[in-house]
Structure 1
């Protein structure tokens, strides 16, 4: 038995209700959302989901007329801001008496143990001690307090004093000093006393930032045919195929079945492209000379801006493109080439609005809007998340011979990613940062992950002993918005669980405050009967293999783009947040999905047992009542359907008392992570392809994992459908259950007053209606059913 599955460990894996001292509604000057600025009025209240924290802010703007060193004749100035034992330094300038720093320092008020703020201006010396130029002193009791949306405090010029403060020295410095909170505009860009040990470029990696994923598009290229392609050896007709490359994505058509100079393919090649379009589409027609040799017969580069953007189902016109063929023996440095206008290719290509589901696992969709902003609807709600703190984090690396953790939190919803500041050397960091997202669909998931920052420039080593300098995973939380009641503040402590080769391990707890505010109840109810994705997705669907490939390419594009930000959101973080390995084979996941299906049939088994008890008169009163009901339904068959719907209505009303009071969380028992066999974990954490030595075993093992991974996904999808059926009356989604219960009541009344023959006739005619009267889009019941929550959100 796995020791982690002992009873005293199971309690640690549960969600805990907390009662943090949240701040009252204190103002803020607006929040930047993925779709634009969100006003304070629109967000109903801002910065009331976190504990209010005060900071002493010092903005160092610039200095003028600084004296030069009498020995060197130069001045290399920098500013040192000191409050008690905390010191912050600006960058230094070489040979400049009028420097401009424009840097902000933030000192946590709770850790200030001095009543004096000292601002020193020094001259940096390479050999000797830095030269003292002057200083400015501030009494902490005289520092003003600034509360947004008040305008920022205007900086002032201050004359520098000598060490004793008796006289003024040459030079002035422009400063602004005020007391504020984490709602201040200067908070994200400030140097924080919590990161006082970090210097240089490492300071950028400690700051809180907001990131936006690139806008993704499908590039659909329908390769129709080519004309007059000639091989090098003209005595033999070519067997042609086309290779298309966009960045790192390479796709090929099949070989033309006949050898001809006018090959015909008529194949679709699908790529993922991101704005701004930096790559070109490179098309190459090649001849399969031998199984191991291909020769180029023509090539063309097409900028993506030349393709039209298709926002609806209107047809795209095909075009002919002339190919380049290098007819000369090109010497080094010789750029000459011959344009063969008789060789050309026939294409039908367009850019289609991709859906942000591409860079995510299909189980955890956080955005279902098309790329084209013209197709966006109005937001139906506001999601506010207060990232309060973490408790009981484990040491993730070694620094100076002791274990430590430098934790930060990342939240991802829709196009918007947020990253909190890094809290240094603390197992109980308190971030108290609040972020806001516009919600366009409630049936979406927000993902939050906690990581250990390994890019601070210090001499630290990972606790695992590996030399890789990657931000370590501490844990992850997923919350489905449809399971939240509107306008209610959820304050819970979520266990941070990570599955390792040794088993499931609790890395700490993450404390959150979450509120989902509804802006339009009518629009939200309308969405439950609306298709999940735009119309183009259903008119031109992709195959399973295409979706897997596109999702992988989209993840790489998003990781590369976010990695180019400052500070970068690194690839290991993006992959973990997007569950990039969720489709890989795992015996543990397969078992979990199998038992999810088994649990679905528990209700059927219970019903059969109850019928058996009725049949054998275990409870005479119940058996007599069943006989009476049976006789009534036989005599009045028109009551069968109303009775069924009325029964479901009563069950739904009864289950309302037992509805979940908190969002779902990671369930180790459901994930089959508590009692997993070590050999199964070794298989799950094995590389793909496998690292086994025998070639035959590797081939068979990889094939088994590939096939079993697909079976695992299908089994999981079957379990998801059954769990959605259970969710109709379980009130996991309060709005969906309310709609279904009301529908059951109306259906019961309508079916009671309507003759059964008419109902059967209408239902049969609708079911057998002509295809002309059928829509290619899913029906309202299908859309409603697909939006119901499943227990996939609780899978680890």
Structure 2
């Protein structure tokens, strides 16, 4: 007889308050709830003109010549459109126009030329009312490398019905309210993504490099500011350093000017960057994707099936390479954890002498802070950080040495 062996836990929502993630969250074109009764009014209209394509890579051989029978498919929201098929042409002309209602401009329009390539355009990058006419490269990543299959010429315009509603949408959450009131668990999200086949979670050396360089690019501004401040502290440009001292002294003496100054500088930086703004809607970037410099073996690994269909020797080589990369990541994670553990263990008496020194310092600092005006402490601390190199030692300072000597939990690990 068959015996009962398991239970299936089902969570059913009948009010349509969730949005089923049938697309990748990075390229989603619709974020509305499932139930139409919960839809908000549209904020604008998207107009797309599919004009023509040039330099299409031949996919057939007809009468001894390369040929291609192509058509375009565009998707935005729940609406799919398809152009007519242009036969036997490497420079097809479509000249067809389509429109969609826009409910959120943090969405992406996808246009594909079958079976050549596709283009993605984020609506939030489009200026209101402006007509963009631009040729987009049709790029396809194969296991043999990156290939340009042609160019697609599009005309796009996003028109807003109400500028106030369009600006107000920036303060609203992306997903429907039920996602935040009764959030799905990690397992439920993974189940939805798996059933919808929205995104691959397999390992890719190319994507790992791309995400690493994206992270470096995000923090490049902070690193540049740190290098600039380091130059100020080392008096590489005495005039700049003196001006920074004056600005610092003014902000400390008048702390109410700190926040307005930050916003003023942000405004000036934004105005300065206005002339470097993109002139055309952004598209898939091969340099950011690390697709133009990917090694053939990395691409072959990325396009390998799951489970793998490659030889055991090749799989072993890739496994060893993955272990090497993961080992470096593991070391970085361990170093970050060590710094946090040192902060936590300051008051734990694991190192009795270090904890006693820190407690004496805390008591002295509390007494000094109680009797000394904050302005004087801030001025003294700032001037000490920006002191001339003549007054600096080449060895690390005492606080840094003390912190580096604090114990972590590394010696407790096997």
TM-score tier (shorter): 0.7 to 0.9
What is the match of residue 110 of structure 2?
447
Does residue 665 (structure 1) correspond to residue 406 (structure 2)? The answer is no
Structure 2 CA distance for aligned equivalents of residues 548 and 644 of structure 1: 41
Question: How far 1:598 moved relative to its partner?
Answer: 1.1
Superposition deviation, residue 522 in structure 1: 1.5
Q: Residue 336 of structure 1 corresponds to which residue in structure 2? A: none
5+ residue gaps, structure 1, are 1-231, 243-252, 254-267, 272-308, 312-351, 452-472, 556-579, 712-796
- CA distance in structure 1 between the aligned counterparts of 2:191 and 2:23, rounded to whole angstroms: 12
**Could you tell me which residue of structure 2 aligns to residue 535 of structure 1?**
177
The one-character-per-residue Cα deviations of 1:304-334 (angstroms, maximum 9, x if unpaired) are: xxxxx633xxxxxxxxxxxxxxxxxxxxxxx
The alpha carbon displacement at 1:625 in A equals 1.1
Cα distance in 1 for residues equivalent to 2:191 and 2:314: 26
CA distance in 1, matches of 2:210, 2:187: 24
Name the structure 2 match of 1:692.
310
Match of 1:379 among 15, 26, 42: 42
> Could you tell me how far 1:382 is from its partner in structure 2?
0.2
User: Matches of residues 90-101 of structure 1 in structure 2 within 5 Å?
Assistant: none
Distance 1:392 1:432 in 2: 17
Question: In the superposition, relative to structure 1, how do residues 619 and 521 fare at CA in structure 2: closer, same or farther (>3 Å)?
Answer: same
* 2:14 alignment counterpart: 310
Tell me what 1:676 maps to: 294
> 1:54-94 CA distances to partner (integer Å, 9 max, x unpaired)?
xxxxxxxxxxxxxxxxxxxxxxxxxxxxxxxxxxxxxxxxx
RMSD of the alignment, in Å? 2.7
Offset of 1:387 from its aligned partner? 0.2
TM-score (structure 2 length as normaliser): 0.73
What SS does the aligned partner of 2:227 have? helix
Given candidates 265, 269, 281, the residue that maps to 2:10 is 269
Which segments of 5 or more consecutive residues in structure 2 lack a partner in the other structure? 330-414
The Cα of 1:685 is off from its aligned counterpart by 1.1
**Inter-partner Cα distance in structure 1 for 2:272 and 2:81:** 41
CA distance, structure 1, for counterparts of residue 177 and residue 185 of structure 2: 16
The alignment of Structure 1 onto Structure 2 pairs a total of residues equal to 325
Measure the CA separation in 2 of the matches of 1:640 and 1:683. 52
1:355 aligns with one of 6, 14, 19: 19
- Residue 581 of structure 1: how far off its partner (Å): 4.9
SS at match of 1:608: helix
1:202-221 aligned at under 5 Å gives the runs: none
Closer/same/farther in 2, CA of residues 375 and 581 from structure 1, 3 Å limit: closer
1:412, distance to aligned residue in structure 2 (A): 0.5
Classify the secondary structure of the residue corresponding to 1:365: coil
Counterpart of 2:358? none
The answer on whether the counterparts of 1:494 and 1:510 sit within 8 Å (CA) in structure 2 is yes
Q: Which residue of 2 aligns with 1:63?
A: none
Distance in 1, matches of 2:23 and 2:237, equals 52
2:135 pairs with 1:493? yes
Contact 1:381 1:518 in 2 (8 A): yes
Tell whether 2:220 aligns with 1:602: yes
Q: Distance in 1 between matches of 2:311 and 2:10?
A: 36
> Which runs of structure 2 are paired with 1:493-512 in the superposition (5 Å)?
493-512=135-154
In 2, Cα distance between the equivalents of 1:621 and 1:613?
12
**Conserved in 2, the CA contact under 8 Å of 1:361 and 1:582?**
no
1:430 aligns with 2:93: yes
CA shift for structure 1 position 360:
0.6
CA deviation string 1:353-374 (max 9, x = no partner)? 4425x11111111001111111
* CA pair 389-270 structure 1, distance change in 2 beyond 3 A: farther
Residues 236-288 of structure 1: CA distance to partner in whole angstroms, max 9, x if unpaired?
xx65423xxxxxxxxxx3xxxxxxxxxxxxxx3258xxxxxxxxxxxxxxxxx
SS in 1 for 2:171: coil
Largest Rg, 1 or 2: 1
Would you say 1:644 and 2:262 are equivalent positions?
Answer: yes
CA contact (8 A) 1:479 1:664 kept: yes
User: 1:369, 1:434 → 2: CA distance?
Assistant: 25
Q: CA deviation at 1:695?
A: 11
Q: Secondary structure at the match of 1:667?
A: coil
CA contact (8 A) 2:54 2:90 kept: yes
Equivalence for 2:57: 394
How far apart are 1:485 and its partner, in Å?
A: 0.3
The alpha-carbon deviation at position 603 of structure 1 amounts to 1.4
Q: Which structure carries more strand by proportion?
A: 1
CA distances 1:508-545 after superposition (whole Å, capped 9, x unpaired): 00000000000011211221111111111112222334
Q: How many angstroms apart in 2 are the aligned matches of 1:651 and 1:696?
A: 51
| Pick aligned residue for 1:476 from 118, 126, 134 | 118
Q: Distance in 2 between matches of 1:406 and 1:389?
A: 13
Give the SS at the match of 1:649. helix
CA contact (8 A) 1:368 1:441 kept: yes
After TM superposition, the runs of 4+ consecutive aligned structure 1 residues lying more than 4 A away are: 693-698
Compute the displacement of 1:594 (Å).
0.5
Q: How far apart in 2 are the matches of 1:695 and 1:239?
A: 43
Judge conservation of contact 2:17–2:177 (CA < 8 Å) in 1.
no
Instruction: Decide whether the 8 Å contact of 1:380 with 1:523 is kept in 2.
Output: yes
Greater length-normalized contact order (CA 8 Å, ≥ 6 residues apart): 2
Q: Distance in 1 between matches of 2:204 and 2:238?
A: 49
SS at match of 1:450: strand
Aligned partner of 2:408 in structure 1 is none
